Amino acid sequence: MLVQTKGFFLDVLLIFQGFFVTPLAHLDGFILKFVPFALFLEFPLYLLIVVGVFFYLLRKRLTPAPSAGYVPSVSCIALCYSEEDAVKLTIRSLTEQIYEGPIEILAIMDGAAQNASTYRAAKSMEAYVSNFPNRTLRIIPKWQRGGRVSSMNLGLSLSQGEIVMALDGDTSFDNDMVFEATRPFTDDNVVSVAGNLRVRNITSSLITKLQAIEYLISIYLGKTGLSEFNIVNNISGAFGIHRRQFLEQVGGWDAGTAEDLDLTIRIKGYLGRYPSLRIVFAPKAIGHTDAPVTLRQFFSQRLRWDGDLLYLYLKKHKSRIRPGLLGWRNSFMMVWTGLFFQIVMPFLIVLYTVYIIVVFPPELVAAIMLFIYLAYLVVSAFMYLVFLIFLSERQLQDAALIFYLPFFPIFSFVVRVWSAVASLKELIQNAHLDSSMAPWWVLKKTKF
């Protein structure tokens, strides 16, 4: 029996040696390939975000809350195209806001002729909104479809509020959203605010659950941390809030695709000359949006999102990424988190993965993949726990997602690989000219 037991442990040791110890002979090569872009370039960003979150918590504790008496007039430009009955929930959630100031809701019906069901759904809410004081609903049909940018600029030209919100017609909001979104504007240096987005259809599929985790880590946690250093990376097109005077000064939204990042970059173009200006994130101003349910829908969305990033960074705004316009801090962050993370990193990951599969034996490939998976699982779990403990206002709901964290590193890897595909498609085909955000004839008229 003792001999059999000894033989068993020897077998286990040999298996362990073959799976882990043998690959250690190649550890130096692995370190040279993995450590530079993970330990020195990626993990410091997560550390910066966590530090920023604790600065945020400290500031909230030590500084008085912004005045509740500040109630500027607010115009909510809701962009509507094929939302159908979902637009009712958007209008209802804006009407029922706990906010004493006037709220003007402008439902812009892009392509109202082919968007008749959404138009009728919005019209059915007129009587409901009229029962609320300080609330007005204006439904504006655009019979010829022109895309998101033309709709937002039309809404801006017709709106009357001091604060302008650009919102998706299928996004609903917590009833204190307007109050929370307007608090940062008590500081005269704040010109724009990025709203917080959660996934509304979490229970629809595994894909929506993983996107919910992604939103909570990258938007809720990430932007909370980055905002403390005035380096918010993007003001979402589905939920962006702007001081009207400044938005008109920068010329509103520009034609083309990825209008949200485009506007963010143009706003940041003032930071080099006016470093006191700020773009901030409002973590308690919360909207709820539906995420793609199937892999096909998800890949289609990210193909457009990630391709547009390359178009903006390397084509349209490449001359803007310099300290003279953006300031040193935002120039560095745009190169680090924009050019490197969003464009270069996905290609490095694809090349590195192909390289180790082709060059190294299967046991080494398995050991490396397992190590990388565990490393990113630990980081993802740590970031999620920081969010859950210190920021979440729905802790029970968010805690339930912890069970899906083991899938998140795999999901993130797939997202990075697909980002490389999207960038390659943009480089070869100018994919930004084939976008669902505007008709082809509108996109063809843009400079690029």
Instruction: Using the predicted structure, report yes or no on whether residue 445 has a pLDDT greater than 70.
Output: no
CATH no. of 65-293:
3.90.550.10
pLDDT of residue 10: 44
Domain extents in the chain: 65-293
pLDDT tens by residue, 76-90: 999 998 888 999 999
The 10s digit of each residue's pLDDT in 296-305 is 999 999 998 9
Mean pLDDT of 360-371: 85
pLDDT bracket for residue 8 (50, 70, 90): very low
Q: What does the pLDDT look like over 401-417, one tens digit per residue? A: 999 999 999 999 999 99
- Tell whether the model's pLDDT for residue 128 goes beyond 70: yes
pLDDT category at 18 given cuts 50, 70, 90 is very low
Give pLDDT, residue 316.
Answer: 87
pLDDT digits (tens, 9 = 90+) for 100-115: 999 999 999 998 888 8
Residue 236 has pLDDT above 70, yes or no: yes
Q: Using one digit for the tens of pLDDT, what is the confidence trace for 143-162?
A: 888 888 999 999 999 999 99
Is the pLDDT assigned to residue 334 strictly greater than 50? yes
pLDDT (tens digit per residue) in 168-209: 999 999 999 999 999 999 999 999 999 999 999 999 999 999
> pLDDT-derived band of residue 7, with 50, 70 and 90 as boundaries?
very low
3-state secondary structure the chain: CHHHHHHHHHHHHHHHHHHHHHHHCCHHHHHHHHHHHHCCCCHHHHHHHHHHHHHHHHHHHHCCCCCCCCCCCEEEEEEECCCCCHHHHHHHHHHCCCCCCCEEEEEEEECCCCCHHHHHHHHCCHHHHHCCCCEEEEEEEECCCCCHHHHHHHHHHHCCCCEEEEEECCCEECCCHHHHHHHHHHCCCEEEEEEEEEECCHHHCHHHHHHHHHHHHHHHHHHHHHHCCCCCCCCCCCEEEEEHHHHHHCCCCCCCCCHHHHHHHHHHCCCCCCCCCEEEEEEEEEEEECCCCCHHHHHHHHHHHHHHHHHHHHHHCCCCCCHHHHHHHHHHHHHHHHHHHHHHHHHHHHHHHHHHHHHCCHHHHHHHHHHHHHHHHHHHHHHHHHHHHHCCCCHHHHHHHHHHHHHHHHHHHHHHHHHHHHHHHHHHHCHHHCCCCCCHHHHCCCCC
pLDDT band at 448 (very low <50, low <70, confident <90, very high): low
